[in-house]
């Protein structure tokens, strides 16, 4: 009897592809040759991988052709399919935003009344307009949205923005975000118990990888007469590890610091008397 495999759909090219493959590798999942393939398998995890257009992934997952998929929230919400988000992955972050010509003054959603809006996301833009009570004309185009005002096709655009440099080069400015987006792991709502167990194993690994990226392992030397002050800055996963050094009156302190408070903690540690501070990346973090 063949082994049950979890079928995952990921983007076949582009940044989301690179980040998805990197995540699977960081989870210890080895993939057979993936270059120019539409389908492959893992040799050390019960998984089949389908390489698809990102626009198609929500439909494949809804239909059960794929059990799970990695897709941007922008695509997921635009396609409006009946799937479940099981994990936000934290990469491929962007936003769907309204952008207007740089010489225009945007004074809120009312500015869009009667305007022509070019976008690749008509469903999401229409939702935004309905919520704001705005009547506007949506022009759906599949690419190069930012040139639409310059060629007279539209007055404004609603497009994905990361840095905003593409908008700037086309004489536009970002004025309102409709949606904040990142990559998410989605699943078919009708998965059986065996595949759910495999999915839970994958989620356990993903959680360990994500925690490792948000934390740093810190080692430092501390004078014993200041240990209390230094330990107070280092809650760690439970409490810091303290080991005596060969030099009398000193200890080595080991702990974990969250990335969000890293620099503030380092400054506080220095001020409390810590010396020889080493910061080490964490490959996996299991709590």
pLDDT tens for each residue of 141-197 = 988 899 999 899 999 999 999 887 889 889 999 999 999 999 999 999 999 999 999
* Cα→Cα distances 83→67, 79, 176, 237, Å: 10, 11, 28, 34
* Architecture label for domain 94-181: 3-Layer(aba) Sandwich (3.40)
pTM: 0.86
Residue 1: its pLDDT value, please?
Answer: 40
Residue whose tokens read 């990559």? 183
Q: How many helices (H) and strands (E) does the chain have?
A: 8, 15
Q: Please give the class, per CATH, of domain 215-281.
A: alpha beta
pLDDT at 32: 78
Digit-coded pLDDT (tens) for 184-201: 999 999 999 999 999 999
The string of DSSP codes covering 20-54 is HHHHHHHTT--B---TT-SEEEBSSSSEEEEEE-G
For the segment 2-45, what is each residue's pLDDT rounded down to a tens digit?
589 999 999 998 889 999 999 999 999 998 777 777 899 998 99
Phi-psi region of 46 (alpha: psi -120 to 50; beta: other; left: phi over 0): beta
Computed over every residue of the chain, the mean pLDDT equals 92
CA distance 282 to 210: 10
The first and second tokens of residue 83, run together, are 């799937």
Q: Say which CATH class 6-92+182-212 falls into.
A: alpha beta
pLDDT band at residue 258 using 50, 70 and 90 as cut-offs: confident
> Between the CA of residue 94 and those of 46, 121, 198, 211, what are the distances in Å?
32, 14, 30, 21
Which residue's entry shows tokens 């082994």? 3
Identify the pLDDT of residue 236: 57
**Segments making up each domain of the chain, as ranges:** 6-92+182-212, 94-181, 215-281
SS (H, E, C) 159-191: EEECCCHHHHHCCEEEEEEEEEECEEEEECCCC
**Domain 94-181 identical in fold to domain 215-281:** no
């Amino acid at each position: 009897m063949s082994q049950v495999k979890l079928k995952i759909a990921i983007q076949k090219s582009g940044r989301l592809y690179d980040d998805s493959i990197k995540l699977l590798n960081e989870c210890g999942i080895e993939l057979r040759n993936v270059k120019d393939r539409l389908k492959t398998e893992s040799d050390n995890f019960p998984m089949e991988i389908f390489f698809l257009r990102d626009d198609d992934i929500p439909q494949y997952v809804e239909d059960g052709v794929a059990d799970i998929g990695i897709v941007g929230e922008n695509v997921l919400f635009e396609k409006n399919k009946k799937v479940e988000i099981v994990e936000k992955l934290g990469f491929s972050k962007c936003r769907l935003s309204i952008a207007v010509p740089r010489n225009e003054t945007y004074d809120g959603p009312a500015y869009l009344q009667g305007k022509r809006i070019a976008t690749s996301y008509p469903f999401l833009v229409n939702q935004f307009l309905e919520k704001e009570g705005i009547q506007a004309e949506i022009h759906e185009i599949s690419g190069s949205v930012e040139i639409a005002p310059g060629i007279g096709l539209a007055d404004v655009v609603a497009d994905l923005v990361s840095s905003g440099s593409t908008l700037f080069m086309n004489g536009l400015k970002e004025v309102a975000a409709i949606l904040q987006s990142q990559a998410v792991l989605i699943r078919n709502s009708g998965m059986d118990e065996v595949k759910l167990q495999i999915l839970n194993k994958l989620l356990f690994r993903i959680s360990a990888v994500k925690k490792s990226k948000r934390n740093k392992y810190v080692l430092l030397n501390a004078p014993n007469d200041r240990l209390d002050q230094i330990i107070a800055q280092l809650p760690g996963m439970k409490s810091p590890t303290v080991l005596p050094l060969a030099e009398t009156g000193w200890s080595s302190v080991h702990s974990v610091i969250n990335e969000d408070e890293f620099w503030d903690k380092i400054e506080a540690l220095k001020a409390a008397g810590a010396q020889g501070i080493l910061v080490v990346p964490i490959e996996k973090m299991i709590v």
